[in-house]
Structure 1
Amino acid sequence: MPNGFLPYEKRRFVVTGQVQGVGFRPFVYRIAVERGLAGFVKNTPEGVVIEITGPAVDAASFGHALRTEIPPLARIVSLDEEAQEVKPPDAPTEGGFQILKSDQGEGHAVLISPDTATCADCLAEMADPNDRRYLYPFTNCTNCGPRYTITRSIPYDRATTSMACFPLCEECAAEYENPLDRRFHAQPNACPVCGPRVWLQEADGMPVCQGQDALREVARRLAAGTIAAIKGLGGFHLACDATNESAVQLLRERKHRPHKPLAVMVPDIEAAAAYVFIDESAARLLTGPVRPIALLPRASGPAGGKALAASIATDTDLVGVMLPYTPLHHVLFRYLREAGGGSHPALVMTSGNLSDEPIALGNREALSRLADIADCFLLHDRDILIRTDDSVVMPLTPDDALGMPKDAAEPGPPLIYFRRARGYTPSPVDIQNLDDRTDGVPTVLGVGPELKNTICLTKGSQAFLSQHIGDLENLETMGFFREIITHLAAILQVSPAIVVHDLHPNFLATRWAVEESGLPAHGLQHHVAHIHAVLAEHRFRGAALGLALDGTGLGEDGTLWGGEALFVDTEALTHERVAHFSPILLPGGDAAVKEPWRIAQSMLHALGITEPGNRPWPWLDTFGPMSRMLPQMLDKKINAPITTSCGRLFDGVAAMLGLANTASYEGQAAIRLEGAQDMAETVAYPCAVSGDGNLDTLALFAEAHQDWEAGVSAGVISRRFHLGLIRGLADWAAHHTGRLGLEHVALSGGVFQNRTLALALPKALADRGLIPLVHGFVPPNDGCIALGQAAWGRLLLVKNG
């Protein structure tokens, strides 16, 4: 042949990312066969390896399709392509194209897919009376279904999942082995003949019925006001009719959850629109593949139908709504409509636990822990290996995404995360700057804080943040913490070199890191970890000003921080507290968090106000005797630690306005304060930077108190407070960035779950010529701390070589 021209090309591809259990190999097979290419595809420890041989034009077309036509659940992190020498035996017809058996081994470079909502194809089969999967509650394919919650180890094959104990029937096996079938190597593949089964039993263990009869009967009971425990994807839900006030109140009483909002599941987007206001971003989120709990404004309810029970959410006009994400949910709502649930049935679907405990996982565990709450149990025999709560998010419009990482809106709308769990984990956060060459850095483990705990493991340039674990305040949650560290390290096949923990010596996570982990342990201050988390999301290198605003975290000076301006340099790996909110005393310590009136009286005391003026303080009727003792505690500083907390400032203003003398869950007072705003008000209270560079938040409180004394409405005061704090924070940031020669301002902390602050402050910073950096992949609350710890630890290892 002239000029040594070869008719064929041979290419080798190595693909890493979320490419197992998502139909990636069948996709590769299809695009290779369509082009008449020879070769193979297989899972290996280094990723999915592909070799093709064929005409140059077809090989090029294959490479383009490989990058642009991937399955909906696949996510490519890296794709390396290498031309190889073509030898005479190589030809398009030489053995055709094959899918080879997975290679075992250590150090794999693939990602486990998160659990994904039932796809349209599976729903169509379930709705067809002639289909063998008609109304089967465990229908799935490579485009949907359980993944993370049923996976023991990698490679993701059926033998390493909880489906190993369900041998495939002849028809399912044929689907599983056919490369052109939608269920090729769908590890949870099943049908009524060979798959998991469902049954209903009473709380005392007495069996009721099974199969479709069980789903039909539990639907009838829910419509009649019963409370049911329902085994789901990542654990149990406690369910009742969300339009039945008596049932909702009874569930609250039994669950010991008096006020915290409850999540609601509805059958479809039309039903959701009857109960909450839905814009384009919310619709995309609700109907997408994740199906998290979305916080949306409450609507009045369907015309001529029932409204949601008032006690679903008493402190806010936002309702947490989600659509069905498993086949079992879809079948349940079908029967609920038949049982008299109306055209828009709605169920409370809250975590199956007592308050502060992990979600129940197995059948025996649920029957033991939930028997005093649920009247009946809908169970199944597919084991859940990894407990995972529902994710909770607030969708934003693209215009509200100012300061988020550029790719944070993919594949859905931009979000404020409140809880990152099912559907999002274990997807990693890419934390490596493109200029870095540090893939060889050893693994770091961040063990998180006490509240809203998560853990985080780094692997190369990626950080794997666990699902929400909870508050490490009991043995059950601590057991979950240990379980997730072990499991995540095992499926990632990594061994941490160091562990990073909070400075608080009494946190259970800190004690585990120092006393049990056996690893070199490094402490990082809570709020510095917050800022490192948001900087890691942006892959930011250099110096920035961080505003860390939350409840409390132990500071480096032994006081309780929470309203902090921090200088953080990721290259020099240094940080400095440059300023803070006005310090106040926290009378009673933790008791003040549960009784915000103490904070209000402490702030009044700091202003020299020791007795009520024109109006009696709102808490005197209930806490009068204790209120009279407080001045002595404050004067002598008895059990009254110093704090600069932003969250406590919100608590104090809310209590001053009579909105919350007590709080039954974290953030309750602040939620009520935000919800009380009169949005027609435009006046902002002054909130100035003091001579020492601190933010004079005590003067801000004084303005609110003065208006309250004058009889101004709580709605007007709340709005003026919010506007004043936003303006004050922006001026504060401008003051210190100007002084330090910085332009980036990183925002983190639980206060940024306040929508008003989260949306307005980045814009106020931009108006002052600053560049805001906000969270886009993880929560701003303490759920991000482990990411910040792990990112800082990784930088520490890089710095130390």
Structure 2
Amino acid sequence: MGLKARRAVLIRITGLVQGVGFRPFIHRIARRSGVRGYVKNLGGSEVEVWAEGADGAVRRFLELLEHERPPPAELDEVNVIEVEPRGYREFRILRSGRQVTRRSQIPPDIGVCEHCLREVLDPSSRWYRYAFNSCAWCGPRFSMMYSTPYDRENTAMRAFPLCDECRREYSDPDNLRRFHAQGISCPRCGPKLWLLDGRGREIACEDPIREAARLVDEGFIVAVKGVGGFHIAALASDDDVVAELRRRKHRPQKPFAIMALDLEVVGRIARPCEKHVELLCSPQRPIVLVPKREEAPVSELVAPGLAEIGVMLPYTPLHYLLLMETRDKFLIMTSGNRRGLPICTGVEALEELKGIADYFLLHNREIVNRVDDSVVRLTDGIPQLLRRARGYAPRWIRVPFKLEREVIALGAHLSNAGAVAFEDRVIPTQYVGDMDCLENVEFLLSALKFLEECYKLSAKAIASDAHPGYVTTRLAASKASQLGVPHIRVQHHHAHIVSAMASVGIQADEEVLGVAIDGAGYGADGKIWGGEVMVASYTGYERVGHLEYIPLPGGDRATIYPARIVAATLSLELGPEHALKICEKLGLHHSLPGGRAELALAARSAPSAPQASSVGRFLDAASAILGICRERTYEGEPAMKLEAAARGGGLVGGLKLEVEDGRVVVREYLLRLAEAVDEHSVKDLAYTTQVRLGEALGLLAREALGDAHMPVVVSGGAAVNDYIIKGLKKTVGKLLLPRGIPPGDGGIAVGQAVVAGLSFFE
């Protein structure tokens, strides 16, 4: 057939198309349809295809491209251009190019597929008990990438040249899962495992995984190097082991995650619904918060005071083999780090985890990009990300408009993540953590740098929170000065609402009624906000309602010991003496290091104390009054335990939060709650407090809406609370919650990036 009888198309494809077996798939459908040409990866994580042949063959190829794809692949854009045929004689997978024609998605890590796991468990397979088995459809991706495009030479697997047998499979077009799969290996050519004791001496053993499992069963604590960092593995069924792990990690109350071998084991310790199961089995394999069974063989010390436990399934053969060898078939599998520091990834673990881990199960594949486990819960039956990391990062958020400029956003302060933005895409970094230690700040900057370099970003604005004291605000100012671009400071709660708006596809010219509920954010009046109702667009907002301000005597100390908030709030209502009598009757002085003297000081300093309209601080105070949690040892603890205590509760008649002059009246409510403690059950009072708060915020929203019709968007760390959302829905009807990003500060950089990307400035 002459060139004139041929048709040719040049196709550029973006989406999740690198690291998912997409080039081998293109090669297969090219052979099936009879076209010739090539497919190759490009430097922006996109794929380029040249297909030529008879018109019918090209049409068949395009039909197959539209209707078929590898399991993990996702297509965002397929751009087809008619071109002149070149006379190719075959269809080939070409060496990747470095040029960027269109920017596409960097592949996240993908949980082990059923096919690879079956090979690992099959005694006749050459991958039998091989901890690093993977294929085109599963395995590490982002965590082992140095750069784009996704080729073996740009990943940590370049240290492991393929053996002859793996090379044959890699080169075989008929091998569905291993043809041109970049991360494959086998026991002959892949990474190796070994076991060390706490002093760094190698333990002589035939099978390091079996030996590690035996040690865990004996009550030892083992650090396990995984995909994106280290885990600490320990028995979850033994009170003494869990108590010792808490002592070593200086983690008195914060819940530990559990990894369970399979769904049958999950069912022994928790009560998952269909949506929980779907999340547990998804390629992302996150930690999922699931109601725990009352009779579960899990120590109460794993998640003290909470109604749910965080459970995940094994996402690598290594984890599966380890759990398979243990007696319980489930273990604590918590992040391998010292409190407040990033998760360990390499040899530093031997020093950092000394005194925490008794033994270390190690391998020699480098972890290039640190990435912790993601955490998901259901709120009103809708999945909500609490921590966006492995499996989700660094996927992008598509917005329904084009940004005016490329942006780098540094996020806020607690549970932080950054973001970059260009065109109609925002890419959050993986979860980083709190910004009060240098190591996390360095982690944030390196995570942003990776995205900047992969996407060849040319930032024309730097965005941050408006809080003048945040490290990220100062970093943003410095970076903006270095680049000679504007530094855009975005009000905290406006950024929360914009993040949610962008994630659910609100158009650029739309306004919403935003309800932002969290612990703290710097307000435009210099006070602490956190219970806000605002009419918001992408570039501005008007505050139309909020929680009544309550005092925080001692500032941050009041957030640790919420009895101080109670004493000061009641003092404003009743005067110090009467307030102290009620507080002492509740036993609040016992929760303060300074006892009665500290309680009295808090009560008397109420008029001059910092003020907050914060939902988080209101919930902390209610939790303290009800005796549920009177000392915060981790972020959100009193509110989380208040939500757990409300399970099975009902409304207490006559106990309501009033709305006056655009404010939810919380001070009077806390007084009435304190008076009701002897008359009603804790679970009913906890339930009533949270549902009534949602109803009151809904009334504020309804008043602000009037006759107007606009979407109601809810965001902020407290937006995951089932009972608050229930109360809000009761009064305003349909709500929009964030999709694909955390409602808390882990998603706030998305909003900052969009505000800066759309705002007008000279």
Q: Answer yes or no: same fold by TM over 0.5.
A: yes
What SS is found at the alignment partner of 1:564?
strand
What one-letter code is carried by the residue in structure 1 that aligns with 2:657? C
RMSD: 2.2
Q: Give the TM-score, by structure 1 length.
A: 0.90
Inter-partner Cα distance in structure 2 for 1:763 and 1:416: 20
What SS is found at the alignment partner of 2:515?
strand
Partner of 2:415: 452
What one-letter code is carried by the residue in structure 2 that aligns with 1:749? G
Q: Check whether the contact 2:517–2:718 (CA below 8 A) recurs between aligned residues.
A: yes
What SS is found at the alignment partner of 2:17?
strand
Inter-partner Cα distance in structure 2 for 1:764 and 1:578: 17
Partner of 1:589: 555
Note the 1:38-49 alignment, pairs <5 A. 38-45=36-43, 47-49=46-48
Partner of 1:750: 717
CA displacement at 1:11 relative to structure 2: 2.4
What one-letter code is carried by the residue in structure 1 that aligns with 2:291? P
Inter-partner Cα distance in structure 2 for 1:640 and 1:232: 47
Inter-partner Cα distance in structure 1 for 2:5 and 2:732: 60
Partner of 1:183: 178
Inter-partner Cα distance in structure 2 for 1:289 and 1:674: 29
Partner of 2:318: 328
Q: Check whether the contact 2:420–2:427 (CA below 8 A) recurs between aligned residues.
A: yes
| Number of residue pairs aligned between Structure 1 and Structure 2 | 751
CA displacement at 1:757 relative to structure 2: 2.2
Between 282-291 and 582-591, the greater mean CA deviation after superposition: 282-291
Seq. identity, %: 36
Partner of 1:349: 333
CA displacement at 1:763 relative to structure 2: 5.2
Q: Check whether the contact 2:466–2:522 (CA below 8 A) recurs between aligned residues.
A: yes
Note the 1:183-332 alignment, pairs <5 A. 183-209=178-204, 213-300=207-294, 307-332=297-322
Q: Check whether the contact 2:572–2:607 (CA below 8 A) recurs between aligned residues.
A: no
Cα deviations by residue, 1:269-296 (Å, 9 ceiling, x for unpaired): 1111110002211111112211110100
Inter-partner Cα distance in structure 1 for 2:310 and 2:646: 20
Which of 10, 13, 28 is matched with 1:12 structurally?
10
Q: Check whether the contact 1:392–1:420 (CA below 8 A) recurs between aligned residues.
A: yes
Partner of 1:404: none
CA displacement at 1:424 relative to structure 2: 0.4
Partner of 2:342: 358
What one-letter code is carried by the residue in structure 2 that aligns with 1:167? P
CA displacement at 1:495 relative to structure 2: 2.8
Between 461-470 and 487-496, the greater mean CA deviation after superposition: 487-496
Cα deviations by residue, 1:199-227 (Å, 9 ceiling, x for unpaired): 001010111036x6111110100011000
Q: Check whether the contact 1:108–1:492 (CA below 8 A) recurs between aligned residues.
A: no
Cα deviations by residue, 1:644-694 (Å, 9 ceiling, x for unpaired): 11111101111111112211111111122112226352346322220x211
Cα deviations by residue, 1:222-246 (Å, 9 ceiling, x for unpaired): 0110000000000000110111111
Partner of 1:31: 29
CA displacement at 1:756 relative to structure 2: 2.3
CA displacement at 1:613 relative to structure 2: 4.5
Partner of 1:407: none
Between 180-189 and 271-280, the greater mean CA deviation after superposition: 180-189
What one-letter code is carried by the residue in structure 1 that aligns with 2:422? K
Q: Check whether the contact 1:45–1:103 (CA below 8 A) recurs between aligned residues.
A: yes
Q: Check whether the contact 1:203–1:376 (CA below 8 A) recurs between aligned residues.
A: yes
Inter-partner Cα distance in structure 1 for 2:357 and 2:322: 17
What SS is found at the alignment partner of 1:371?
coil
Inter-partner Cα distance in structure 1 for 2:39 and 2:264: 43
Structure 1 stretches of 4+ moved >6 Å: none
Q: Check whether the contact 1:262–1:313 (CA below 8 A) recurs between aligned residues.
A: yes
Q: Given the superposition, is the C-alpha separation of residues 728 and 132 from structure 1 closer, same or farther in structure 2, using an over 3 Å criterion?
A: same
Note the 1:61-80 alignment, pairs <5 A. 61-80=60-79
Note the 1:510-589 alignment, pairs <5 A. 510-516=473-479, 518-519=482-483, 520-540=486-506, 541=508, 542-570=510-538, 573-589=539-555
CA displacement at 1:625 relative to structure 2: 5.2
Partner of 1:367: 350
Inter-partner Cα distance in structure 1 for 2:594 and 2:446: 46
Partner of 2:373: 390
What SS is found at the alignment partner of 2:658?
coil
CA displacement at 1:633 relative to structure 2: 5.1
Inter-partner Cα distance in structure 1 for 2:593 and 2:100: 65
CA displacement at 1:547 relative to structure 2: 1.0
CA displacement at 1:267 relative to structure 2: 0.6
CA displacement at 1:429 relative to structure 2: 0.5
Q: Check whether the contact 1:108–1:493 (CA below 8 A) recurs between aligned residues.
A: no
What one-letter code is carried by the residue in structure 1 that aligns with 2:658? A
Inter-partner Cα distance in structure 2 for 1:539 and 1:311: 41
Partner of 2:736: 773
What one-letter code is carried by the residue in structure 1 that aligns with 2:570? L
CA displacement at 1:132 relative to structure 2: 1.4
Inter-partner Cα distance in structure 2 for 1:624 and 1:204: 38
Cα deviations by residue, 1:331-374 (Å, 9 ceiling, x for unpaired): 212322xxxx0xx5211000001111110111x21001001100
CA displacement at 1:5 relative to structure 2: 14
Which of 603, 615, 626 is matched with 1:646 structurally?
615
Inter-partner Cα distance in structure 2 for 1:611 and 1:232: 52
Inter-partner Cα distance in structure 2 for 1:795 and 1:507: 23
CA displacement at 1:133 relative to structure 2: 1.1
What SS is found at the alignment partner of 2:590?
helix
CA displacement at 1:169 relative to structure 2: 1.0
CA displacement at 1:185 relative to structure 2: 2.5
CA displacement at 1:251 relative to structure 2: 0.6
2:444 equivalent to 1:481: yes
What SS is found at the alignment partner of 2:706?
helix
Q: Check whether the contact 2:694–2:726 (CA below 8 A) recurs between aligned residues.
A: no
Inter-partner Cα distance in structure 2 for 1:5 and 1:357: 62
Inter-partner Cα distance in structure 2 for 1:678 and 1:468: 30
What SS is found at the alignment partner of 2:301?
helix
Partner of 1:53: 52
What SS is found at the alignment partner of 2:158?
coil
Q: Give the TM-score, by structure 2 length.
A: 0.94
Inter-partner Cα distance in structure 2 for 1:750 and 1:704: 24
Note the 1:709-728 alignment, pairs <5 A. 710-728=678-696
Inter-partner Cα distance in structure 2 for 1:127 and 1:622: 53
Q: Given the superposition, is the C-alpha separation of residues 700 and 329 from structure 1 closer, same or farther in structure 2, using an over 3 Å criterion?
A: same
Q: Given the superposition, is the C-alpha separation of residues 614 and 120 from structure 1 closer, same or farther in structure 2, using an over 3 Å criterion?
A: closer
Inter-partner Cα distance in structure 1 for 2:79 and 2:162: 36
Cα deviations by residue, 1:601-660 (Å, 9 ceiling, x for unpaired): 122112214232497122123439554455555545587211111111101111111112
What one-letter code is carried by the residue in structure 1 that aligns with 2:20? V
Cα deviations by residue, 1:387-412 (Å, 9 ceiling, x for unpaired): 1110010146xxx46xxxxxxxxxxx
Cα deviations by residue, 1:543-569 (Å, 9 ceiling, x for unpaired): 122111111111111111111112212
Cα deviations by residue, 1:589-610 (Å, 9 ceiling, x for unpaired): 0001110111111221122142
Q: Which runs of 5 or more residues in structure 1 are unaligned?
A: 402-413
Which of 359, 364, 378 is matched with 2:361 structurally?
378
What SS is found at the alignment partner of 1:787?
helix
CA displacement at 1:786 relative to structure 2: 0.6
Q: Given the superposition, is the C-alpha separation of residues 35 and 478 from structure 1 closer, same or farther in structure 2, using an over 3 Å criterion?
A: same
Inter-partner Cα distance in structure 2 for 1:653 and 1:580: 18
Partner of 2:567: 601
Partner of 1:461: 424
Partner of 1:672: 641
Partner of 1:411: none
What one-letter code is carried by the residue in structure 1 that aligns with 2:375? V
Inter-partner Cα distance in structure 1 for 2:435 and 2:153: 33
CA displacement at 1:380 relative to structure 2: 0.5
CA displacement at 1:34 relative to structure 2: 1.0
Partner of 1:700: 669
What SS is found at the alignment partner of 2:305?
coil
What SS is found at the alignment partner of 1:552?
strand
Q: Check whether the contact 1:17–1:110 (CA below 8 A) recurs between aligned residues.
A: yes
Q: Check whether the contact 1:605–1:631 (CA below 8 A) recurs between aligned residues.
A: no
CA displacement at 1:8 relative to structure 2: 4.6
Inter-partner Cα distance in structure 1 for 2:564 and 2:630: 8
